[in-house]
Structure 1
Amino acid sequence: MATVLIPILRRTAIGVSVLVLAGCANFSADGGYGEVSRLTQERVGQPVVLAKTTADGDQRTSDEVRVLLAQPLTADAAVKIALMNNPALRTSLAELGVSEAQFVQAGRMRNPGFSFGKMRGGDEVEIERSVSFDVIGLLTLPTRSGIEKRRFEQAKLMAAGQAVQLANATRKAYFTAVAAAQSAAFAEQVRGAAEASVELADRMTKVGNWSKLDQARERAFYQDTQTQLARARHEATATREQLVRLLGLWDAQQSLQLPDRLPDLPTDLRDGRDAEAQAMAQRLDVLIARRDVEATASALGLTRATRFINVLDAGYANKSTNGAPRENGYEISLELPIFDWGGARVAEAQGLYMQAVHRTADKAVRARSEVREAYSAYRTTYDIARHYRDDVVPLRKKISDEVLLRYNGMLASVFELLADAREQLSSVNTAIETQRDFWIADTALQAAINGAGANE
């Protein structure tokens, strides 16, 4: 009997080895970065560029960043720099390696066990040897590998989601920084007008042509403009530094050039009729939730399959005693479900599955609502910005022209001229803010459709 079992066990071991080697998962060539880059480019128009860990790779990245910073920065160029240079994004991408390692590990069998025992009783020596294999691990290997593969796909979606979030945050920071710099320049003009007004008021008061009350009012306005200018300059610095952080710039690279003004309003608006459908098909957080449901469902199936047989090891064993023929055989180790029938594990898996299902439904409801809200903000800010551009600012300019004509005809005082100039600058500054709000709303709409939500 023993002589018959030895060839059978040998053929079984060979067959197991071939099956395991054939089913072993291997590391991918790019670690999943290619898929992350593709998902990101489809949503923000820019790929994720993985910086090589070599000195040459870092130098090439620095050279590309330097070329982009050598000219006035655009929103697209800012996103490109962030996706290749942001340290936090590099940290997130490194987590892909952990997920892939878990996927590869799940596709490999547990190492076989070997035991050796030696017993001596007087002149008799007894030696026992055995080799065991994890049979349940072998049988469930395809299922476990499939679960971890879906986890790896989910990790790639999460990495792409973080890249898309970074791109959206960079675009918002870019438009905010440009608008703040533009507002600071206009605040400087307002302060200049107030300074000229207060100097004229002081001279006219000295000769008795202006009351001290009106002089105090002009000086109070001038002091207010000083405060507003200081705040505007700080806002320009703070928003610029926020952009610098997102771009991952360091030392000399911080000397980026921002344009003097925001981009013009687009002539064609986005169509909001298909925005909700696009969000359901493209939003990464919705796709991640769906992958979570699939992985949890597979894990639930695995739990049900192994609820009674949790540990099953089989292997070859032989025993030899001095002065006696060697004994060969096999042994099986099985955990008996006497106290734990696996019901708690199945109940836990079912609870996790229902959590994933309800979480996905919640993501879908939130996504559709966020798209509708974002599109409303997009259209509203566009209408307001266009109203200021086409109606308010031209009307203020027309009023200024009329006041200037009256001043030239000696029908208006210089203070009326200065006051009107201040009001015109104020309307222009509001127009800058409305234009900034539109571009931020445009970015938020893109995030609601493609990324992880308009409010994240």
Structure 2
Amino acid sequence: MIRYVAPNRVACIAIATMFLAGCSTFSKDGGFNTVSTTASERLGKDAVYIKTDEDRDAVFKRTQELLSKPLGMDDAVQVALLNNRGLQASYGELGISEADLVQAGRLPNPGFTFSRTHWSDGFGISRTFSMGVLGVLTLPVATRIESRRFEQTKLETANAMLAVAADARKAYVNAVAAEQAALYAAQVKDSSEAGAELASRMRQAGNFSKLDYAREQAFYAESTAQLAKARQQSVMAREKLTRTMGLWGSGTQYTLPERLPDLPKERPQLNDLESFAMQNRLDIQAAKLRTQSVATSLGLSKATRFINALDVGYLNNFETDKGHEHGYEISVEIPLFDWGSAKVARAEAIYMQSANRLAQTAIDARSEVRESYSAYVTSYDVAKHYRDEVVPVRKTISDEMLLRYNGMLASVFELLADSRDQVAAVNGYIDALKDYWLAETDMQQSLGGRLPPLAMANAPGAPQNDATPTPATPTPPAPAQDSPLSAPATQPASPTNSEGK
């Protein structure tokens, strides 16, 4: 056994410190705590990383409980967070990144060389114990770089979880709206079939014109085609939801409600959205950490540009005529042809690339916030217009037509013609309500998975004012005039400030 005795106490302390630094271990949660905390705080849901059979059984039981009743929007999001296999696969990035961090924090393995040579009147034995010193000297910096990358991976994984939740929410809205439209199309088809049958009998009796008969038959034919199309769209939307939730087998037999949730009485008051997004979006936080890691790597590249390899070894040789020989050797790379300029230039280019990508991420985020806010306000106003204006007027017309029919002032075909006119209004309201919930989901995603706390307090489910606000012209947050990562220079006007009273 070869032992190396340090010349002084300082060297002993330094070596002990390096060895302690090399004893990096894995964390208990594997970095998943960031994901689970994000799911709890921003979505009010549970995120589970399935690693054992116990985890799988617990997820199965929870899923069965959620699917045992008509599936709500929040239930669909929770099922997706528990069962989406693509999301589970993305959790594996945490383990890979943490393994890189632990590896970066461990000392490089030493090397041992043994050789035995013979000659005519004797033999020699050479033994060398060596270690790469450069890797030891750069270990703290390398550990710091990988630590930031691990934090970046946590944020990126949590952001992927939020994206899956948003996809599940949108898939649910599309599936329920498509099923609602299919049910209404079936009612329209039954009504048109009855009208076509009545028109056929009256035509045979000679009491109906050829033109009126053709109109009823055309409406029946069109409604039949629309029903088939609506049912196919319902199947497609439901299968999209099933894939997003990660269900198969008996799990696909879940029940959806007959209609979408009602439109909230009021829109939440949303201010300073760009500033909130800059602080709240995980992709921006991850991009910042990525740029910081690249900057640290650039400093390391500059520090080691001239020396890429530095090994120190302890020698213990023996020859028959000389006996034992002790000593040491130093192996260093001579920067004769490569002075490290290419390595530094590459690191600088990577840093500039990362910095520009960070700036572009912030610019895109601000644009997404303004776009999603405009779509949210517009879709709310359109859905509210259908709810408060179009549908009530159509109902009034239908009621009056029914009274005229009961008073023998209108024929059955006038009643059927009025029902045909209602088709566009009802389908328009279904689409408008669907567009609102999709726009709200997009806006939440553009803000980092949730609305600002004040807006959440005024969200659906909170006490509402009975007064119905006047539809507003969307007033998007004002763009910043300085850095894309900073807060807006001009604070956005409140949406209600621009409303006509």
TM bucket (normalised to shorter chain) is: over 0.9
Q: Could you tell which deviates more after superposition, 77-86 or 56-65?
A: 56-65
8 Å Cα contact 2:173-2:434 kept in structure 1 = yes
Q: Which residue of structure 2 lines up, in the alignment, with residue 27 of structure 1?
A: 26
Question: Offset at 1:10?
Answer: 9.8
- Write the mapping of 1:216-255 to structure 2, written as runs, cut at 5 A: 216-255=214-253
What is the distance in 2 between the residues matched to 1:154 and 1:31?
A: 14
What is the distance in 2 between the residues matched to 1:309 and 1:425?
A: 78
What is the distance in 2 between the residues matched to 1:345 and 1:202?
A: 85
What is the distance in 1 between the residues matched to 2:14 and 2:114?
A: 24
TM-score by length of 1: 0.95
8 Å Cα contact 1:6-1:328 kept in structure 2 = no
Deviations 1:167-218 (A, max 9, x none): 0000000011111111111101111111111111111111111112221221
Q: Which runs of 5+ in 1 are unaligned?
A: none
Note if 1:60 corresponds to 2:58: yes
- Write the mapping of 1:193-232 to structure 2, written as runs, cut at 5 A: 193-232=191-230
8 Å Cα contact 2:39-2:45 kept in structure 1 = yes
TM-score by length of 2: 0.86
Q: Which residue of structure 2 lines up, in the alignment, with residue 296 of structure 1?
A: 294
What is the distance in 2 between the residues matched to 1:17 and 1:134?
A: 16
Percent of residue pairs bearing the same amino acid type: 50
Q: Which residue of structure 2 lines up, in the alignment, with residue 42 of structure 1?
A: 41
8 Å Cα contact 1:9-1:316 kept in structure 2 = no
Deviations 1:245-299 (A, max 9, x none): 1111111111111111111112342333221111101112111211110010010
Question: Offset at 1:306?
Answer: 0.4
Question: Offset at 1:17?
Answer: 5.1
Q: Which residue of structure 2 lines up, in the alignment, with residue 398 of structure 1?
A: 396
Q: Could you tell which deviates more after superposition, 235-244 or 269-278?
A: 269-278
Q: Which residue of structure 2 lines up, in the alignment, with residue 373 of structure 1?
A: 371
Q: Which residue of structure 1 lines up, in the alignment, with residue 494 of structure 2?
A: none
Q: Which residue of structure 2 lines up, in the alignment, with residue 168 of structure 1?
A: 166
Q: Could you tell which deviates more after superposition, 282-291 or 43-52?
A: 43-52
Question: Offset at 1:383?
Answer: 0.4
Q: Which residue of structure 1 lines up, in the alignment, with residue 454 of structure 2?
A: none
Q: Which residue of structure 2 lines up, in the alignment, with residue 98 of structure 1?
A: 96
Matched AA of 2:167: A
Matched AA of 2:127: R
Deviations 1:35-92 (A, max 9, x none): 12112333323231122322x3322211110010001111111111110111111111
Q: Which residue of structure 1 lines up, in the alignment, with residue 408 of structure 2?
A: 410
Q: Which residue of structure 1 lines up, in the alignment, with residue 151 of structure 2?
A: 153
8 Å Cα contact 2:18-2:107 kept in structure 1 = no
Q: 1:363 aligns with which of 353, 357, 361?
A: 361
8 Å Cα contact 2:97-2:153 kept in structure 1 = yes
Q: Could you tell which deviates more after superposition, 399-408 or 304-313?
A: 399-408
Indicate the structure with greater helix content. 1
8 Å Cα contact 1:310-1:335 kept in structure 2 = yes
Q: 2:424 aligns with which of 420, 423, 426?
A: 426
Q: Which runs of 5+ in 2 are unaligned?
A: 451-501
Matched position secondary structure for 1:208? coil
8 Å Cα contact 1:193-1:422 kept in structure 2 = no
Q: 2:180 aligns with which of 169, 179, 182?
A: 182
Q: Which residue of structure 2 lines up, in the alignment, with residue 349 of structure 1?
A: 347
What is the distance in 1 between the residues matched to 2:137 and 2:314?
A: 18
Question: Offset at 1:9?
Answer: 6.4
Q: Which residue of structure 2 lines up, in the alignment, with residue 319 of structure 1?
A: 317
Matched pairs, number: 447
What is the distance in 2 between the residues matched to 1:18 and 1:123?
A: 47
